[in-house]
């Protein structure tokens, strides 16, 4: 019984036509695309209608505001707010300038010596004192220097070698003198170093250095330097 049933099913399945051709598939896909396009078109139409309604509402409100003078009031409020912002910005610039002037004043006894070789473990005060005596012919003692420390220059093209190996670096030496007149006398004699790789400059703040660099990069300016900036 079961055998006949299986045979009958097999014969029946072998004679069932597929019934779906390529043309039918294209027709089904075409109808689906058309239906989806229609839905999208309707959605966009509704969206555009909604936007137009909102724009019309805004125009109506603006018309009412213009007729009642509300626009003028809002404009005056905006102008007052703008003036308040400008005043705050001006005040912030004044505070920044005052803070910079104070920072620069604290550096009035400082100089920076660029390119002076300093070895690891050396006393910076002694090194600077000997350099000034020998190269600038200025009689100074270590007691004239309040503090001296180095800021190594790190550049990708010529990196500073590790100080732990005791090798010579090329740092910037910041030196603070006990008296302003001694510092000024060193600044005056810095022109002696013009043909060397060592330079003496004032210890400027970052903001003042930016100003000096802008002047230095100006094609209309031939030379730039600072003197008694603070």
C-alpha distances in angstroms, 166 versus 149, 159, 191?
17, 15, 31
Among 8-22, 151-165, 189-203, 204-218, the range scoring the smallest mean pLDDT is 8-22
Q: Are 167 and 161 in contact (CB under 8 A)?
A: yes
Model pLDDT for residues 79-128, shown as the tens digit of each residue: 666 777 777 778 888 888 888 888 898 899 999 999 888 887 888 889 99
C-alpha distances in angstroms, 114 versus 98, 127, 151, 200?
28, 13, 10, 6
| Position 55 confidence tier, pLDDT thresholds 50, 70, 90 | low
Residue 203: partners with Cβ closer than 8 Å, 6 or more residues away: 107, 110, 111, 112, 174
- Could you please state the CATH topology (level 3) that the domain comprising 110-202 is classified under: Alpha-Beta Plaits (3.30.70)
Residue 131 has pLDDT above 90, yes or no: yes
Q: How many Å apart are CA 161 and CA 167, to the nearest integer? A: 7
Q: Are 138 and 185 in contact (CB under 8 A)?
A: yes
Domain ranges of the chain: 23-66, 110-202
pLDDT of 89 reads 77
Model pLDDT for residues 186-197, shown as the tens digit of each residue: 999 999 998 888
Residue recorded with tokens 């910076």: 124
Mean per-residue pLDDT, 152-157: 55
Q: Where are the beta strands (DSSP E) in the chain?
A: 110-114, 145-152, 171-177, 199-202
Is the pTM above the cut of 0.85? no
Handedness of CA 63, 64, 67, 69 (dihedral sign): negative
Q: How many Å apart are CA 162 and CA 159, to the nearest integer? A: 9
Nearest to 149 by CA among 126, 180, 178: 126
pLDDT of 31 reads 65
Model pLDDT for residues 3-39, shown as the tens digit of each residue: 444 444 444 444 444 455 555 555 665 566 566 666 6
Q: How many Å apart are CA 37 and CA 39, to the nearest integer? A: 5
Residue 139 has pLDDT above 50, yes or no: yes
- What are the two backbone dihedrals, phi and then psi, of residue 123, each rounded to the nearest 5 degrees? -80, 115
Facing residues of 169 across strands?
A: 118
Mean per-residue pLDDT, 180-184: 92
Residue 158 has pLDDT above 60, yes or no: no
Q: What is the CA radius of gyration of the chain?
A: 41
């Amino acid at each position: 019984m079961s055998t006949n049933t299986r045979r009958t099913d097999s014969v029946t399945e072998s004679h069932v036509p597929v019934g779906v051709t390529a043309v039918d598939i294209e027709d089904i896909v075409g109808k689906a695309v058309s239906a989806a396009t229609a839905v999208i078109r309707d959605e966009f139409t509704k969206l555009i209608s909604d936007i137009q309604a909102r724009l019309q509402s805004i125009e109506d409100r603006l018309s009412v505001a213009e007729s009642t003078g509300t626009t003028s009031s809002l404009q005056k409020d905006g102008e007052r707010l703008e003036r308040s912002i400008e005043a705050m910005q001006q005040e912030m610039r004044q505070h920044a300038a005052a803070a910079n002037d104070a920072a620069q004043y604290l550096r009035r006894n400082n100089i920076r010596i660029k390119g002076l070789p300093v070895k690891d473990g050396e006393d910076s005060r002694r090194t600077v004192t000997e350099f000034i005596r020998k190269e600038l012919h200025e009689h100074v003692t270590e007691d004239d220097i309040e503090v001296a420390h180095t800021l190594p220059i790190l550049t990708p093209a010529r990196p500073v070698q590790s100080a732990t190996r005791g090798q010579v670096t090329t740092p910037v030496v910041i030196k603070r003198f006990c008296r302003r007149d001694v510092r000024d006398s060193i600044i005056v004699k810095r022109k002696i170093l013009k043909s060397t790789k060592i330079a003496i400059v004032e210890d400027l703040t970052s903001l003042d250095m930016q100003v000096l660099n802008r002047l230095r990069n100006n094609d209309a300016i031939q030379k730039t330097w600072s003197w008694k900036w603070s």
